[in-house]
C-alpha cells in the first residue's frame, strides 16, 4: 500500500505595503475570531451550568413530594 504526501504551497510576500496590510487584516481577523470562539464557549458553559442548577433546584424542591 503506497502512502502519498500532500504538497504544501508557501506564499511569500514581496514586502510591499499591500502585503503588509493584508497580513495585519488577517491577524486582526484571527484575534476577533478567537475572541468570538471564546465568548461562544463561555456562553455554552453558562447555559449548561444554568440548566444543571435549575435541575438540582427542581429535584430539591419537588423531591419531598
The pLDDT assigned to 1 comes to 46
Give Cα 1 to chain centroid, integer Å.
37
For residue 49, tell me if it sits in a domain.
yes
* Residue 16 forms part of a structural domain: no
The Cα–Cα gap between 19 and 45 comes to: 39
Question: What is the chain's pLDDT, residue by residue, as a tens digit (65 residues)?
Answer: 455 555 555 554 555 555 445 555 567 778 999 999 999 999 999 999 999 999 999 999 998 66
Domain with 49 in it = 39-64
When divided into structural domains, the chain yields a total of 1
Helix (H) or strand (E) holding 55: helix 17-62
Amino acid at each position: 500500500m503506497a502512502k502519498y504526501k500532500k504538497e504544501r504551497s508557501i506564499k511569500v510576500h514581496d514586502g510591499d505595503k499591500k502585503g503588509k496590510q493584508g497580513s495585519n487584516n488577517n491577524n486582526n481577523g484571527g484575534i476577533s475570531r478567537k475572541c468570538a470562539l471564546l465568548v461562544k464557549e463561555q456562553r455554552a458553559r453558562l447555559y449548561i451550568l444554568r440548566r444543571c442548577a435549575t435541575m438540582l433546584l427542581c429535584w430539591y424542591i419537588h423531591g419531598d413530594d
